[in-house]
Structure 1
Amino acid sequence: MGRTIVYLIMLKTLAKRISPLAALIVLCIQTAWAADLYVARNGSDRNPGSKEKPLATIDAARSKVRGMRGKVTVWVRSGTYYLTQPVVFGPEDSRAEGQEVIYKAFPGEKVTISGAAAVPVKWQPHKGQVQKAVIAGPAVFDQLFIGDRKLHMARYPNFDPQASHFGGYSADVLSPARIRSWKHPEGAFIHAMHKHEWGDYHYRVTGKPNDSTLVWEGGYQNNRQMGMHDKYRFIENLPEELDAPDEWFFDTKTKTLYVYAPGDAREVLSPQIRHLFEFRGSAEKPVRNIAIEGFELAHTLRTFMETREPLLRSDWAIYRGGAVLLEGTEHCAVRQCHFNAIGGNGVFFSNYNRDGEVSGCHFDQTGASGVCFAGDPAAVRSPAFEYHESVPYARMDLIPGPKTNNYPAGCRVSDNLMNGLGRVEKQVAGVEISMSMDITVSHNTISNVPRAGINVSEGTWGGHVIEYNDVFNTVLETGDHGSFNSWGRDRFWHPVRETMDSLAAAHPAMFLLDAGKTITIRNNRFRCDHGWDIDLDDGSSNYHIYNNVCLNGGLKLREGFYRVVENNIMINNSFHPHVWFAQSGDVFRRNIVTKPYAPIRVEEWGKEVDHNLFPDQQALEKARRNGTDGHSLAGDPMFVDAANGDYRVKPGSPALRLGFVNFDMHAFGVVSPALRSKADKVPLPVADPVTAAGNRSEAAWLGGKLRNVNGLGDRSAFGLPDEKGVVVEAVPENSILAKAGMKQGDVIRVLNHREIGNVSELMDVYQEVNWMGEGEVAVFRNQALQKLTVSFK
């Protein structure tokens, strides 16, 4: 082999001197020169790594690969490989171009890389259905699995998969009466939503100074400190709360594990480490050309108490880690892996990464986010970290772009299925991007997440392409977000509006100092029932948004510059311009909206708002009173097949006369057949009956059925003072309306202090406030107004 290497070096030198043909010959030789290694559960690290005599560990294979040239595939045979520490790839493991190494599951075999210890147990009776086992040897108990079943730490209230937050919550978690029931709560964890539902907090109980008070540490997981929510909270890891199936508690003093109805399990799996694979390089010495492929990645520790690093002027704090951590890499990839109920993030690209790839993976019930990108704050010019912080213009670094190259760029997240993320932490996303450049997020299906499906934390440094994604059932536990969510609190942005107005007028060159490259959002399908489908918040700037279908929440633009929104379709909703700056340069054209615009504090309407299609003349005239939409039209868009999600328009549609162009309705989401077969289907909106004026007359809402008050007959029957309001036609048992105390025959007159005249007005107000989690409803009952509090989730 040594002589072959010498020949190759000679050929390469000769190729430079002779002709491109020689270079081609060298390439062919290198391509042909490939090798296989094998790892198996019955192998030995003293073996050569052949198929007949495999190695036993991936670590041993990594060491052997270091001495090999050419392309190498490390085939890992079936079984579960329990790691006591992560597999680490350093600069010494880097591969030259054309000599990549892939660590890959053998075809047709299931390979699980586990961060757990398989702990033998011998059960003994304890109390009732609770059994116990003394654990020999050291072990961490943070999550517990019996086979494929994940158990729950003993908690109050008990786990309820139907609950809207945390799998169960209660306002009395920290009540004196409840605290008195716990003898030694040290080591318990309190989990709570942020007071404004922007994220979550987590605390570790450190003591009980008196009979009815706890002391704790933590609460740093959210970057906008406002305290915990007074209702959405729970507590876990308390022996007194071990009272429901699949609950467990580990007594660290006696090393005794208690499990409610463990069955006949002879061992339990207890995660011991946070990461399974780490790529550890730097910009100066990167890890190059290494991929992992086809593994199930499982059983990692939860990281909620390590989530403490604030991102730039956001609500967020992060933990720089995941089941796979990449830092200082080039051309490294994670492909076709199943992230199964891991405790924290799936894949984390930290600081310098170039041309990284995550593709064909399934992120299933993860503790935190799916894929995260976060650069080095030291690469940001004039950074600020808390929402209210700002850098005075006189001290601001005015050089555009990043200060260093220590950030992710040119990476791709494509064809991934992400379902049920944020099972532990709520300040998460399917894909989170911060302090990065040129990230492509393409053909992913993201659903059932507590916050945004895709989140861009700030404008540094743009260039991202968000395309062909299917994102729905989002913002399930938080509020004031969207299926796509961003903010742009970059160098130029100031939290005080009057100050920001004067800065914007005096220094317009500031706007693109960080967001220098346009972010493109195109050809996606979004649905958010508790916020906006596309939510560009607080200064998000330099976006081009086109060819998207918004199925429920519409599109919001707030406090930014240079956004071009064109050729989008907004079903059951509209355009939400919020608090625009003078000379924003914003454009909204050739879009189809199905409700009137919903502006808030907009005095100047940007560069162009025109050539849009409205549902009726009334909505169009309302827009024209703002000085916009002089060339817009109103009418039926004539969708091809709205009931089945085909929102292309037919020939003769007025949208076509405005310049609207049809786009593909069948290219959203994952493309791999295996992932498509597992993906949930997006819930398509139902067309509600409309009156001749274009208003809805009936609707399904929070599990109930509603209709408009209709004429003098209803006024007499319900004892109303006029013919306004919404009649509650049906209130099924266990519906949200029933839980709020609403009854059949109630007439809704007010929602969140806004008078309600009909179903359309109710749904419009609801769309604006549903992210708040709950609202006050005034109903007419027995000829008097009564106030009720209704949960929106």
Structure 2
Amino acid sequence: MEELDYPGEFFFDKRTEKLYLFHNGTGAPPTDSIVVPQVQVLVNITGTQWKPVKGVQMKGLRFSAAAPTYMMPYGVPSGGDWALDRYSAIFMQGTQETLIHGCTFERLDGNAVMVSGYNRDTTIQQSDFAYLGGNAVAVWGYTNETGSDPGRPGVVLANAPQAGVDGTDGEHPLRTTVQNCSAREIGLFEKQSSFFFQAKAAESRILSNVFFNGPRAGINFNDGFGGGDEIAWNLIFSTCRESGDHGPFNSWDRQPFLTTVRTGEPSMIMQWRWIHHNFMVDNFSPQEAIDNDDGSCYYKTHDNFFVYGWQAMKTDFGGHDNHHYDNIYAYVDHALGVDPTLPGHEQYFFANYVVMQGEMVGTCLPQKQMYGNRYFTPSGKLQEGCQGFGGQVSKTPSDAEILTQAKMKLGTLLDISLVV
């Protein structure tokens, strides 16, 4: 009872069966009701790869008051930085063609939607997420890293832990689509959280969503499992409000996986991922809009409008095969911060419109990898460093001119975003 000293805290006296609440608003607390969440999973759709639950549809439903999950058992999804609990208000495992349409997820104390293990063609669309304890949507597969797993009780997992990099058994999500959704005020309790998180999953499509106000990246890919993903036509801003790293999008690829996504045959090489026609504002802890961290590879990032950040293109610690082209970068410090690569796995930076606040391009790439760029600086000059700079240099254009270029790139997406 003596710890009850801050708004939002509560204490339940079991002896007297009284609940004490430190009201977190002005005036008197509500007299009609107090909501005390008791249940962590509100909808559980669970089958198996061999006997999946098919065709479940949830439309126009409101999900609220799911109990906290941050004290439940956690796992390490893959080779990225994250740990995660495999719980959510809607939990799916062993499903095909599940549809979540026009639903509202509000004031949930844990994750909203978990797409776990074997799932095919899940679609989450025209739904709103707000005031969540954890992630809006988390997509997380299995690769038999341990002999048993709480997520699959009673199942003996073959070849563990040797099978930890083998993703050919199908126990992972494929073709998850999240489109036309909004998400804000997430990660209220769990700071390793995003609008969309992915680990050991492939061929996801994140299209035409609006995300803002989160503690870390808006979209997070925890590994390079499979690839074939598409991120397009999204508006993302006010991310990383409680961390000092990355930006609206973050990826890692510290651990290779064996999958059949690229060619249909087992391969340790992933399929290309595409990031295009997005509007991202890196206005908190600005590092870069697209943070391809720690070995990230096989990304084609093009035709986006990125505002703010320390640098335009970043890839490090063994990252390779990252291509940035036809993008607009507004008010970055410099253009490139990339590491050397092996022959045949080069980085590319070309045909970009780069408005810089300094005069240094950054990392220099060979001319065949760095060409056709337009650089803009306050002085209209660049300091010596890269021979030819891979393009032309001019004085900083007006905001109106930058927005004109962006509207030509994004069309109605930018018009709608500016109104919002």
Is the TM-score greater than 0.5?
Answer: yes
Name the residue aligned to 1:565: 324
Q: Alignment partner for residue 421 of structure 1, among 180, 183, 186? A: 186
SS at 1:480 equivalent: coil
Name the residue aligned to 2:314: 556
Relative to structure 1, the CA distance from residue 590 to residue 335 in structure 2 (aligned partners, 3 Å threshold; closer, same or farther) is same
Given that residues 406 and 414 in structure 2 are in contact (C-alpha distance below 8 angstroms), is that contact kept between their aligned partners in structure 1?
no
Name the residue aligned to 2:44: 278
Q: Could you tell me how far apart the structure 2 residues matched to 1:415 and 1:371 are?
A: 13
Equivalent residues in 2 for 1:577-588, closer than 5 Å: 577-583=337-343, 584-588=345-349
SS at 1:635 equivalent: strand
Given that residues 490 and 514 in structure 1 are in contact (C-alpha distance below 8 angstroms), is that contact kept between their aligned partners in structure 2?
no
Shift of 1:320: 1.3
Shift of 1:646: 3.7
Q: Alignment partner for residue 335 of structure 2, among 575, 595, 599? A: 575
Q: Does 1:634 align with 2:393?
A: yes
Q: Does 1:546 align with 2:305?
A: no
Name the residue aligned to 1:218: none
Shift of 1:249: 1.8
Q: Does 1:594 align with 2:359?
A: no
Shift of 1:433: 1.1
Q: Could you tell me how far apart the structure 2 residues matched to 1:597 and 1:377 are?
A: 44
SS at 2:71 equivalent: helix
Equivalent residues in 2 for 1:171-570, closer than 5 Å: 239-243=1-5, 247-260=9-22, 263=29, 265-306=31-72, 308-378=74-144, 402-491=167-256, 513-529=267-283, 530-531=285-286, 532-553=288-309, 554-558=312-316, 559-570=318-329
Relative to structure 1, the CA distance from residue 648 to residue 474 in structure 2 (aligned partners, 3 Å threshold; closer, same or farther) is closer
The one-letter code of the counterpart of 1:562 is D
Q: Could you tell me how far apart the structure 2 residues matched to 1:619 and 1:427 are?
A: 41
Q: Alignment partner for residue 405 of structure 2, among 644, 647, 650? A: 647
Given that residues 455 and 486 in structure 1 are in contact (C-alpha distance below 8 angstroms), is that contact kept between their aligned partners in structure 2?
yes
Q: Could you tell me how far apart the structure 2 residues matched to 1:612 and 1:332 are?
A: 44
Q: Could you tell me how far apart the structure 2 residues matched to 1:446 and 1:605 are?
A: 37
SS at 1:268 equivalent: coil
Greater helix proportion: 1
Relative to structure 1, the CA distance from residue 515 to residue 524 in structure 2 (aligned partners, 3 Å threshold; closer, same or farther) is farther
Given that residues 379 and 403 in structure 1 are in contact (C-alpha distance below 8 angstroms), is that contact kept between their aligned partners in structure 2?
no
Shift of 1:243: 3.9
The one-letter code of the counterpart of 1:572 is Y
SS at 1:667 equivalent: helix
Q: Could you tell me how far apart the structure 1 residues matched to 2:406 and 2:398 are?
A: 6
Relative to structure 1, the CA distance from residue 575 to residue 589 in structure 2 (aligned partners, 3 Å threshold; closer, same or farther) is same
Q: Could you tell me how far apart the structure 2 residues matched to 1:299 and 1:563 are?
A: 42
Shift of 1:259: 2.4
Two-structure CA RMSD over aligned residues (Å): 3.1
SS at 1:365 equivalent: strand
Deviations 1:71-114 (A, max 9, x none): xxxxxxxxxxxxxxxxxxxxxxxxxxxxxxxxxxxxxxxxxxxx
Q: Alignment partner for residue 412 of structure 2, among 666, 685, 688? A: 666
Q: Could you tell me how far apart the structure 2 residues matched to 1:307 and 1:453 are?
A: 24
Q: Could you tell me how far apart the structure 1 residues matched to 2:394 and 2:419 are?
A: 33
Given that residues 361 and 382 in structure 2 are in contact (C-alpha distance below 8 angstroms), is that contact kept between their aligned partners in structure 1?
no
Relative to structure 1, the CA distance from residue 471 to residue 283 in structure 2 (aligned partners, 3 Å threshold; closer, same or farther) is same
Taking CA–CA contacts closer than 8 Å with sequence separation of 6 or more, which of the two structures ends up with the larger relative contact order? 2
Given that residues 379 and 395 in structure 2 are in contact (C-alpha distance below 8 angstroms), is that contact kept between their aligned partners in structure 1?
no
Shift of 1:575: 2.3
Q: Could you tell me how far apart the structure 2 residues matched to 1:242 and 1:635 are?
A: 60
Seq. identity, %: 25
Unmatched 5+ stretches in structure 1? 1-238, 381-395, 493-511, 650-661, 682-793
Bigger radius of gyration: 1
Name the residue aligned to 2:158: none
Given that residues 586 and 606 in structure 1 are in contact (C-alpha distance below 8 angstroms), is that contact kept between their aligned partners in structure 2?
no
- The alignment covers a number of residue pairs equal to 384
Given that residues 304 and 410 in structure 2 are in contact (C-alpha distance below 8 angstroms), is that contact kept between their aligned partners in structure 1?
no
Given that residues 250 and 293 in structure 2 are in contact (C-alpha distance below 8 angstroms), is that contact kept between their aligned partners in structure 1?
yes
Structure 1 length-normalised TM: 0.45
Given that residues 79 and 253 in structure 2 are in contact (C-alpha distance below 8 angstroms), is that contact kept between their aligned partners in structure 1?
no
Given that residues 371 and 432 in structure 1 are in contact (C-alpha distance below 8 angstroms), is that contact kept between their aligned partners in structure 2?
yes
Unmatched 5+ stretches in structure 2? 147-161, 258-265
Q: Alignment partner for residue 375 of structure 2, among 614, 623, 627? A: 614
Relative to structure 1, the CA distance from residue 628 to residue 544 in structure 2 (aligned partners, 3 Å threshold; closer, same or farther) is farther
Given that residues 402 and 514 in structure 1 are in contact (C-alpha distance below 8 angstroms), is that contact kept between their aligned partners in structure 2?
no
Q: Could you tell me how far apart the structure 1 residues matched to 2:13 and 2:94 are?
A: 40
SS at 1:594 equivalent: strand
SS at 1:242 equivalent: coil
Given that residues 219 and 250 in structure 2 are in contact (C-alpha distance below 8 angstroms), is that contact kept between their aligned partners in structure 1?
yes
SS at 2:132 equivalent: coil
